[in-house]
Structures are given as structure tokens and as C-alpha cells.
Amino acid sequence: MAFIDEDMTQLYIDLIKNLDVTKSIEVGAHDADYSCLVYRENICKDIWAFEASPYVYNKFQSFLSEHINYKFLAISDYTGTAKLELQMEYSDMSMVGNNSIKNRSEVK
């Protein structure tokens, strides 16, 4: 689980449980850890996770529960196609998932 502070995570989970959430959407899901948490905590049944990197998506799609709608799609404010700049190498693990539709000058 990528969540840093367990107390804050639990506070957030308690909050959304009390709001009677019916749908969860995770954009830029990577391994969909948030969606998995929502499913495990039985917060809602309609869970969607979107990942635009084909490498990341292919790595995790088979591990995710059939109860999570994990989709190979990018989410944006427009309809159409966009070039995704994929970061293929990382100088440190903090850069993992640093893909973008913006032009990059870092390691690609």
C-alpha cells in the first residue's frame, strides 16, 4: 500500500464511509492500490481505475480483482487522442509513474 500515514488513511476511509459513496474513480491508478482499498473496506461496489501507461497496465491488470474495473485509458477534459510521454527509466523510485502528456526533458 502506497499510503504514507495509516492514521490519515483510516480517517479518510471513515469519512467516505459516512458519506455513503456509491462510485469510486481512481485516475492514474498505477497498481490501483486505492481502488483495492475501497473494495476491501466495502465502501462501494462500483469501482473504476484508469491507467494510461501500457506497460503499467499490462503489469497489473491480471492481479486486480474482477470487482475493480481497471481500464487502459487516459482521463482528460477533452475527447480525442494524445501522445503520452512514457518515462522508461528512473533515477530513483520517486519518479515511478511520472508519465505525462506534457513534453519531458528528463530521462525517458
Q: Give the residue among 8, 88, 94 at the shortest CA–CA distance from 54.
A: 88
For 43-76, the pLDDT digits (tens) are: 998 999 999 888 889 989 998 878 899 999 988 8
Question: What is the pTM assigned to this prediction?
Answer: 0.75
Q: Running DSSP on this structure, what letter comes out for residue 100?
A: B
Q: How many CB atoms lie within 10 A of CB 67?
A: 12
Write out pLDDT tens, residues 88-108: 665 544 445 566 665 656 544
